[in-house]
Amino acid sequence: MRRLYLTVRLGLTLLGLAWVLVTVTPLTRWYAAMLAGPWLEPKGDILIVLGADEPTDGLIGPVTYWRSVYAVRAWREGGFNSVVVSGGNGLADSMKEFLQFEGVPEDKIMVERHALSTRENALYTAEFLNHAAGSMVLLTSDFHVYRSVRAFRKVGLSVLPRFFPYAFKRFNSWPDRWPLFMDLCVETAKIVRYRISGWI
C-alpha cells in the first residue's frame, strides 16, 4: 500500500512539475521554434499547401484555414505561378474554394485529393509534380515543418519551407499552452515513427 502511495505521489509531483514548465516557461515556444527552423518567406514557382483538419459541412477547419490564409498572402505577394493544395476527404476541394474566393485564379490551382497523411501528401504531390519545372515552396504549420519538409525531400521533391506561426500564436494564450504541449508530443511521436519507417 505504501509503494502505491509513493508511486501516485511521484506521478502527481511529476505532472505538477510538467504543468508548471509548460504553463510558466517558454518550453513549448522553444520546442516549436526548433521544429520550425528559421523564419523564411521564400519565393518560388510552385506553392504547395498542405491541409490539416478535415472539413465539416464543406467548411475547412481552423488549422487548414490559417494555412490557406497564409497561402493567399504568399500568392498576393507575387512570384508564384501555381498553387498545389493537398488533402483527402474533400479537404483539398475546400481549400481550393477558399483560395478562389480570395482571388487565386482557378486555372492556377492544382488539387491533390487523396492524401490522408503527411507521407501521402508527399507521395501524391510528387506524382503531380514529377516533371514540373521550377522551384517549389512548401507551406504548412510551424511545428510541422521538420517532418513535412523531410518527407517531401525523401520522395524527391526539393522544397523550401514556408510556415505560418501556428504554435507561436497559441503560445500567447495561457489556457492553450497545455493543449499545444500535447500536440507537440504527438508531433514528436510522428517524427519518431517517420524516422523508424524511413519516410524522412
Q: What is the CATH number of the domain that holds 179?
A: 3.40.50.620
Report pLDDT for 13: 61
Task: Report residue 198 as a C-alpha cell.
Answer: 524511413
Report pLDDT for 123: 96
* Per-residue b or e along 105-118, where b marks 16 or more CB atoms closer than 10 Å to that residue's CB: eeeebbebeebeeb
Report pLDDT for 12: 57
Cell 509548460 locates to 22
Q: What is the pLDDT of residues 98-135, one digit of tens each?
A: 999 999 999 999 999 999 999 999 999 999 887 777 89
Q: How far apart are CA 45 and CA 134, in angstroms?
A: 5
Full-model pTM: 0.87
Residue 93 Cα to chain centre, angstroms = 18
Instruction: Please give the tally of structural domains in the chain.
Output: 1
Cell 493543449 locates to 179
The domain in which residue 27 lies consists of: 3-197
- Which residues of the chain fall below pLDDT 70? 1-2, 4-6, 8-24
Annotate 132-177 with DSSP letters as a single string.
Answer: --S-EEEEEEGGGHHHHHHHHHHTT--EEEEEE-HHHHHHTSGGGH
Task: Give the C-alpha distances (Å, rounded to integers) separating 64 from 13, 17, 98, 113, 132.
Answer: 37, 33, 10, 15, 25
Closest CA to 184 of 142, 155, 156, 153: 142
Residues of the chain above pLDDT 70, percent: 89
SS3 content of the chain, % helix, strand, coil (to 5): 60, 15, 30
Report pLDDT for 173: 82
